[in-house]
A = this chain, B = another copy of it.
Amino acid sequence: MSLTNASPEQAARAAKISSRTLATLSTDARNAALDAIHDALKDSKEIILAANSKDMEIAQKSAAGGELNPSIVKRLDLSRKGKFEDMLQGIRDVRELQDPVGRVDLRTELDNGLVLQRQTCPIGVLLIIFEARPEVIANIASLAIKSANAAILKGGKESTESFKAIATVISRALESSEVPNDSIQLVTTRDAVDPLLELSQYIDLVIPRGSNQLVSYCQKKAHMPVLGHADGLCHLYIHSDADKDMSVDVVVDSKTDYPAACNAVETLLVHEQALDTVLPSVASALMAKGVVLRCDLSSKAALSKHLANEQVLLLQDASDADYATEFLDLILAIRTIPSIDGNPSSAVDAAIDHINTHGSHHTDAILTSSKEVADRFCNAVDSACKFWNCSTRFCDGMRFGFGTEVGISTNKVHARGPVGLEGLMIHEYRLAGNGQTAAMYGASGGRKFTHKKLAV
């Protein structure tokens, strides 16, 4: 890992060059490098925690002076119980994943002795921009090496000392491995983000890890593709035939399990026939968990009939802006979906329209006992994840069984939804022959392609 003083361009060029060597290394060579990093970090715990305490000291002062959000200080702290060990275990977990490189997913005989093969290969150079969490550096370095991608890491200024210490350890560990030292570049120069985002000749993909603002900024500025999502404005729709108890469980979990997560629900859509039957229990359970409800006129009127007076007093009126807001907090906007011509099954279309218009195409869910209605919803909602009768909180790489999560993408190309190691790969075509020319297959050449599918 190259340290600290390279210019953005030097770092990116070095990463690009080393990426070609990295791409040719065996699974064993890459796994051995992960072992070396794991062991070196384990042995250097004290040095790293000492560096981290310097960052903490400055951060705590800034927080006390009101210049820094206390939640950043918390994320910065590597000495919290289990955090360092979790970081080490994360490296082991990535090491144990199946090698994503060189997986053949298509083999075709174009003609006798002319065989085409498509196989996965690393993308090349990743730029990872992240905020305070210092353990991310170990996680990202592991993912990059496992997937044979070079990576340029740009961290937040609050964790500079921790980054430097971890980077030094990783750098020394890589020296004993076949992975080129330049494969992982740490950039700590100030104002490096803008120039890095323009270096599309060296950098193939940007992965911002942090706030919505960071992601939006990268999406606007980057000259190369960006993997991620700026917003997670997720919806739950309670259809007329939704089960009451299931609705209570799923809505409460989707809102309160971790309100600051991108897969937490922000707007609840309720079919008008469920206003008096399902919504009161749901609302009551949410309020018991401290959730503030912002209601449209119909839902407020229904709840006012059914809830206790002290709860009714806490209901708020929803504004249009509430339906376009990712609260990331214990606040939920509620909107009533009317039956069209009294037909509940076409009402799902109004819910779909609301979601496609107001949502962020991340995760949207329906509660209904009808498979037909659920299919209609899943077919028409334009989101990465469409869930039926379960919590939006399941949108997650670990929960999906991917072993790791690079991020969640709302992109319409490459990777969408929770992204595992697969999202760090692209494919290449290899064609092996014995002297075949295109002219042999032209009108004059007379040979015909067989295009025979071969086993992979």
Residues of chain A at the chain B interface (Cβ within 8 Å): 19-20, 23-24, 108, 110, 114, 116, 118, 123-124, 204-205, 225, 227, 243, 245-246, 249-250, 252-254, 257-258, 352, 356, 374, 376, 378-380, 382-391, 393-395, 399-401, 411-418, 426-439, 441-442, 449, 451
Contact = CB atoms under 8 A, between A and B. Distances in A.
Contacts of A383: 428
Contact of A374 (B352, B413, B432): B432
A403 to B, nearest CB: 9
A435 B205 contact: no
Given A382-B23, A394-B110, A388 B431 contact: yes
A382 B124 contact: yes
Given A394-B436, A394-B438, A385 B431 contact: yes
A432 B415 CA distance: 21
A399 B23 contact: no
A441 B395 CA distance: 13
Contact of A430 (B388, B393, B435, B441): B388
Nearest to A423: B413
28 contacts: A24-B376, A24-B379, A110-B394, A116-B400, A204-B413, A205-B412, A225-B225, A243-B435, A246-B434, A249-B437, A250-B436, A383-B428, A385-B428, A385-B431, A387-B430, A387-B431, A388-B430, A388-B433, A389-B434, A393-B437, A393-B438, A394-B436, A401-B449, A413-B413, A413-B414, A414-B414, A414-B426, A416-B426
B435 A249 contact: yes
Contacts of A436: 250, 389-391, 394
A131 B412 CA distance: 26
A390 B449 CA distance: 14
A340 to B, nearest CB: 16
A174 to B, nearest CB: 20
> Copy number in this complex?
2
A254 B436 CA distance: 10
Contacts of A417: 118, 427-429
A205 B413 contact: yes
Contacts of A252: 437
A434 B391 CA distance: 10
A384 B428 contact: yes
B225 A378 contact: no
A382 B387 CA distance: 39
6 residue pairs, one from A and one from B, having the closest CB atoms: A390-B433, A253-B437, A393-B438, A401-B451, A246-B435, A204-B412
A426 B441 contact: no
A73 to B, nearest CB: 24
Nearest to A436: B390
Given A389-B436, A390-B436, 17 more contacts: A20-B352, A20-B356, A24-B379, A123-B413, A124-B412, A225-B413, A227-B413, A249-B437, A250-B437, A252-B437, A257-B442, A385-B428, A385-B429, A386-B428, A386-B430, A387-B431, A413-B426
Contacts of A249: 435, 437
A165 B68 CA distance: 63
A283 to B, nearest CB: 17
